[in-house]
């Protein structure tokens, strides 16, 4: 069931994607759902569900989220790796940051 993920994906990201795929398979089988059941509930094709369950990095994040939303705990995704203290710190400092970050021009005196 393990698939080779693209070479340009960092190892940690590849392993996280494969772990996510295993967890989604477990969650589906625990509920005794077929891949077609997941496809019907999420509005994607069964072949896309199959790719997601294999950890295919070429499937859009949108489709991963559609499948993940069928199971409890999707709200944890937004926290990624922030502790509660870090999350409140980010929220409080976010208002102080500029709305847009622009490329800084470097002045060149080389005429």
Task: For 71-102, write each residue's pLDDT tens digit.
Answer: 988 777 766 666 667 667 767 777 777 677 67
Instruction: Tell me whether residue 3 is in a domain.
Output: no
3-class SS string, the chain: CCCCCCCCCCHHHHHHHHHHHHHHHHHHHHCCCCHHHHHHHHCCCHHHHHHHHCCCCCCCHHHHHHHHCCCCCHHHHHHCCCCHHHHHHHHHHHCCCCCCCCCCCCCCCCC
- Model confidence pTM above 0.75: no
Instruction: Tell me whether residue 107 is in a domain.
Output: no
The domain of 68 spans: 11-89
Instruction: Tell me whether residue 97 is in a domain.
Output: no
Domain count, the chain: 1
Instruction: Tell me whether residue 21 is in a domain.
Output: yes
> Tell me, what's the pLDDT at 2?
46
Task: For 31-40, write each residue's pLDDT tens digit.
Answer: 999 999 999 9
Range from 28-32, 45-49, 96-100 that averages highest in pLDDT: 45-49
Instruction: Tell me whether residue 39 is in a domain.
Output: yes
């Amino acid at each position: 069931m393990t698939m080779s993920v693209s070479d340009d994906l960092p190892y940690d990201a590849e392993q996280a994607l494969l772990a996510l795929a295993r967890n989604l398979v477990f969650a589906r089988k625990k509920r005794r759902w077929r891949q077609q059941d997941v496809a019907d509930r999420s509005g994607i094709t069964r072949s896309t569900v199959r790719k997601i369950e294999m950890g295919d990095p070429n499937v859009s994040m949108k489709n991963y989220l559609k499948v993940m939303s069928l199971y409890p705990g999707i709200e944890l995704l937004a926290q990624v790796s922030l502790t509660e203290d870090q999350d409140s710190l980010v929220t409080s400092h976010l208002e102080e940051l500029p709305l847009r970050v622009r490329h800084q021009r470097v002045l060149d005196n080389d005429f």
